[in-house]
A and B are shown apart, each in its own frame.
Chain A
Amino acid sequence: MKLEWTKAPMGRRNFLKTATALGASAALPMGFAGQAMASEGSTLRVRSYGDMSTMDPAHSNGVFDEEIHASVYNKLIQYKPGSEWGWQLDAASMIEQADPTHINFALRDDIGFTNGHGAMTAEDVKFSFERIIADETESPNKPDMGSFSHVEVTGEREGTIVLNEPFAPLWSIALPYITGNIVSKAATEAAGGRIGTDPVAESGPYLRASWSPKEKTVLTRNPDWKGDAPAWDNIEILPIDDENTAEIAFEAGELDFTRVSLGSVERYRAGVPNGGTLLENPSLFYVWLGMNLDHPKLQNPLLRQAIQHAIDVPSILEAAYFGAVEPSTGIIAPGLAGHREAGKVAPAADFARAAELLAESGETNVTLTLDVLNKTTFTTTAQIIQATLAGIGITVEINVLESGAFWDSGNNENLQLVLNRFSMTPDPTYATAWFTTEQAGIWNWENFRNAEFDQLHADAARETDLAKRAEMYIRAQDLMEESGAYRFITHEATPVVHSSGIIPALRPDGLTLLRYFGKS
């Protein structure tokens, strides 16, 4: 008798699954079934690339902490989900710029802290913001507060944020991001002034129910939340640093949302398993080839320009980024003030021009080292740069470094060429901050020193007119490129996949705003 597995009423796979489940349920005592039954309500399972490290916004280590903080705390304003950068009211019922250095706000009257710490007041806002800039807090996030001075409390729920000088990123970084989280003054003081890995009082639509280090963080609906009810009863955040593992977990149905690798984008374009959807979001990251202006081998500006023209960005994007990203024109991504529509050096290489510049420079037998991080994307990029520069007679030796050693390159006096990638927050000042003279040898590894650039960086942070601000940042990037120390490559991308049951709420750069995730 021939068995027709594919025509069986119950497929082979389902049969095996059912048989296994039946066998297991017969063999297992109540513990297993009881556990399944205990998992009540809807659960959203999302991947984070790192594990939570603290519940204290003052000591937040970045995105993976903020994903949780933004769900269990409130800010005066939060980022708005969508494809354009913007903010919406959160704990504030009103917020307005009274003058360039004063911002008045009023809090909603329905937000309270857990553990009996009462309603959120303007004193909590004052405490939360001022502790970030206090020296004794030792907050690494202090620079995000810029020229913030203090908060004047004018009523139980009213106050005024006072700045030492105008600070445009207040609206794009300080208030809606890490430093904007409002903690309970009473609870934090009772905890000795520092919050550890357990929350002392929460106020957001979710509460942190549990944290299993390196495994998962579970958020559960806050029963006392009076605002718009979140769609999901529980959110499980799973720290998975390897994107391939996250993709496997998604395909196995164990994740509802994850960022995927650029190499998988083509595959997911053809179809996402389990009826899921691929979303290709832009990113704020910026990748570039830097040239150390202090190194004796790179003193000749014509040589640097020759290198700029000889690097073929489209080839890099095709080989190292699988054609899933666009070339960049500078350090400020599309969608932010100051993004350049085009750079001074076109993305495609101009080998004839590069050879001409090299000949003009009078440099011969040029051999340079190129330092890169030990990630496949960067080593592939480095190999393409090596090959294209060889085309005009420049020899490149690739120096692959482990992350710790690579990120210490500011102390490397022998640094020549470096392939670099910086993260970014949604304000252009965060990009230019690393290339000022003050940062030379710290994070400005090119040792680019330009007085006009420094002035533009300082002035633009104070400028509240968006158009003028944009012009300043465009000029600043022109100066960087004209120095010959930079060859801009890409802003990368943030491709994500989600299962059919959810409506993701994302920032324009593809990062999650978990409290706004919906159900389809």
Chain B
Amino acid sequence: MFIYTVKRFALAGLILIVAVTAMFLMIRAVPGDPVSIMLGPRATPELKASLIAQMALDQPIWKQLLIYYGGLLRGDLGIDVFSGRSVVEIVFQQLPYTLEMITLSVVWSATLGIALGAYAAANPNTMIDRIAAAVSVSFVAAPAFVVALLALLIFAVQLQWFPAIGAGEGFWGRLNHLVLPSFAIGLSWVGYIARLVRASMLEVLGEGHIRTARAFGISERRIIMSYALRIAILPVFTVIGVGMGFLLSSAVFTEIVFARPGIGKLVIDSITTRNYPVVMGTVLVSTGLFVLSTAIADLLNALLDPRARSAK
């Protein structure tokens, strides 16, 4: 397990380096003079020259990349050219907002999705199973941005149950502000996870050890909860791990629609203004999160299912 963990994290590091390098090159390939965009029309040539030097834009790309990685090794992601604040400070100030939104989305969608899937599998081909299937597919098919807008109009404007914008203050205030965004992001995951768990569960329920358990007269409830579900939810970990990338991209539009602070909003604003240091800082952290979550999902999988370890 130890060797597997080391290998997995080494791979994660390599993925991170490739992703950050690719992003570094891509952002510089986008048309548009960053200095003119950042400083606006009234900037003097001297001011432009100063900023070019400050951002090392007068250096060849390979040298800029080396400078960037040099800073990275020192834990220095650079300075935001507009506010003069450290990029690390900016990114880590915004990160909790995105993380709490994603976490709540995953928690509620996985809880409901697993319950729905398990219930459907325990009652196959019944009316309940068919209804659960229809509901799950509808959820999967509902685009998150449409759900977000409808949720806003119904629950914020019409019923005024939940706040429409912002992130709130204090624990309960923040939780209250998370309800609609996490609902919008998580809804399609409920359906997806439910279908996944149902299929996986049906497969497990047909296996020998379950038949043996039944032969021993163990209750169906205990078989499902203690034996079948434990194995059937394994694919959910992998899906959630890989799904972090999807959730991070969903965060971009959700943060815009709900006017929430967060990484998604930050990356859009900084790309538009060609704020290279902030773009890179944001990409590094979000890629890191993605790589970390997939690595953790793989490790959990390996921990719970020894076959996954030996397959590597």
Contact = CB atoms under 8 A, between A and B. Distances in A.
Say if A and B assemble together. yes
A405 B30 contact: yes
Size range of the interface on B? 35 or more
A125 to B, nearest CB: 22
A443 B41 contact: yes
Given A143-B42, A214-B262, A443-B41, A248 B172 contact: no
Contacts of B198: none
A16 B156 CA distance: 13
Nearest to B172: A32
B153 interface: yes
Interface string B270-287: 011110000000000000
Contacts of A405: 30-32
B130 to A, nearest CB: 31
B272 A404 contact: yes
B37 A407 contact: yes
A389 B269 CA distance: 36
A97 interface: no
Given A239-B259, A240-B165, A403-B272, 11 more contacts: A13-B158, A13-B159, A35-B170, A51-B269, A142-B44, A215-B166, A216-B166, A242-B259, A254-B166, A404-B274, A434-B41
Contact of B152 (A196, A240, A248): A248
B157 A17 contact: no
15 contacts: A31-B171, A35-B169, A54-B82, A61-B40, A140-B40, A197-B85, A212-B261, A214-B265, A238-B166, A239-B259, A251-B157, A254-B163, A403-B272, A404-B32, A411-B33
A142 B256 CA distance: 33
Contact of B93 (A53, A196, A213, A238): A213
A252 B170 CA distance: 21
Interface string A204-236: 000000001111100000000000000000000
Interface string A128-167: 0000000100101111100000000000000000000000
Contacts of A144: 42
A475 interface: no
A241 interface: yes
A408 B31 contact: yes
Given A248-B164, A254-B164, A408-B31, A53 B82 contact: yes
A404 B93 contact: no
Given A242-B259, A248-B152, A408-B31, A140 B39 contact: yes
Contact of B260 (A138, A215, A251, A402): A215
B4 interface: no
A403 B165 CA distance: 26
A20 B161 CA distance: 8
A465 to B, nearest CB: 27
Contact of B257 (A20, A212, A215, A242): A242
Contacts of A215: 97, 166-167, 260-261
B226 to A, nearest CB: 31
Given A214-B265, A215-B166, A32 B159 contact: no
Contact of A254 (B31, B42, B165, B167): B165
Nearest to A246: B259
Given A17-B159, A17-B160, A405-B30, A196 B85 contact: yes
Interface of B: 30-34, 36-37, 39-44, 46-47, 50, 82-85, 90, 93-94, 97, 152-153, 156-161, 163-167, 169-173, 256-262, 265-266, 269, 271-274
Contacts of B265: 214
Contacts, number: 144
B83 A53 contact: yes
Interface string A232-264: 000000111110011011011111000000000
A194 interface: yes
Nearest to B40: A140
A179 to B, nearest CB: 11
Interface of A: 13, 16-17, 20, 28, 31-32, 35, 51, 53-54, 61-62, 135, 138, 140-144, 194, 196-197, 212-216, 238-242, 245-246, 248-249, 251-255, 401-408, 410-411, 434, 443
Given A31-B171, A32-B170, A404-B274, A248 B157 contact: yes
A242 B166 CA distance: 13
A53 B266 CA distance: 13
Given A54-B83, A214-B265, A252 B33 contact: no
Nearest to B166: A215
Contacts of B156: 248, 252, 254
Nearest to A422: B41
Contacts of B260: 214-215
A20 B157 CA distance: 16
B259 A245 contact: yes
A411 B34 CA distance: 12
A31 B176 CA distance: 13
Given A194-B84, A197-B83, A252-B160, A240 B261 contact: no
Contacts of A140: 39-40, 42-44, 47
A264 to B, nearest CB: 14
A347 to B, nearest CB: 27
